[in-house]
Amino acid sequence: MQLLDAAKSFLDGKIKADDTLVDFTAGNGHDTAYLCSLVPKGKVYAFDIQKEALENTRNLLSEKGYENAELILDSHANIAKYVSHFKCGMFNLGYRPGGDKSVTTLTESTLKAVTDGIELMEKGGVLVISVYPGHAEGEKEGRELYSLLSSYDKAYYSVIQYKMINSPTSPFIFAVEKYDK
Ligand SMILES: C[S@@+](CC[C@H](N)C(=O)[O-])C[C@H]1O[C@@H](n2cnc3c(N)ncnc32)[C@H](O)[C@@H]1O
């Protein structure tokens, strides 16, 4: 199974047509477009710090005919300024395919965005985080996210790590579900 398919599978059955979703790393817009397709009566907030990323995302959404996204040129660490609550969200960490490889997600802002995201996520929601440990900052993000996420109370959250154990530097996923209780 490809990582992207696995990431999407964690959202299966969790989302209703009028839900609010968040793409924390819009990049070229593929995940934003996917999320838009899941909530035809709802809304997707998509963050990126690169103008070019949001331009690519805007173009892809218009090609596909989606009008239910709000694109935000700001760090996902500032999510609380823009979003009061949401059902499910996705992070695809690292740098934008085809873009400037020096603009990558960074551990400190990623940890802040994940912490605030979990706080703002509705009960029954899932946050899916794809991590790329093949470069130094990605390895650090993965390690620190593991440490942060393992501290969440199992009475209220399930936190899953999904990874290829025969390929340690391959991308892997964390999926955080906030129980509906
Ligand atoms: C791997 S790409 C995302 C791919 C994207 N989901 C897609 O479907 O094309 C990671 C993106 O995260 C963005 N990024 C880096 N730091 C960020 C931050 N603090 N807040 C929001 N986006 C950030 C980068 O600019 C880059 O476009």
- pLDDT of 12 reads 92
Give the Å distance between the CA of 29 and the centre of ligand 1.
Answer: 9
Ligand 1 contacts CB of residue 4 (under 6 A): no
Q: Which residues of the chain have pLDDT under 50?
A: none
* DSSP character at residue 26: -
Give the Å distance between the CA of 69 and the centre of ligand 1.
Answer: 16
CATH number of this structure's domain 3-10+18-178: 3.40.50.150
Q: Write the DSSP assignment of 79-138 as a string of letters.
A: HHHH-S-BSEEEEE-SB-TTS-TT-B--HHHHHHHHHHHHHHBPTT-EEEEEE-TTSHHH
Ligand 1 contacts CB of residue 30 (under 6 A): yes
- pLDDT of 142 reads 97
Domain boundaries, the chain: 3-10+18-178
- pLDDT of 104 reads 95
Contact by Cβ (8 Å): 3, 169: no
Contact by Cβ (8 Å): 91, 21: no
How are beta strands 69-73 and 126-131 bridged, if at all?
A: unpaired
Ligand 1 contacts CB of residue 27 (under 6 A): yes
pTM of the model: 0.97
Radius of gyration of the chain (CA): 15
Q: Whose CA is nearest to atom 4 of ligand 1?
A: 27
Ligand 1 contacts CB of residue 110 (under 6 A): no
- pLDDT of 5 reads 87
Ligand 1 contacts CB of residue 75 (under 6 A): yes
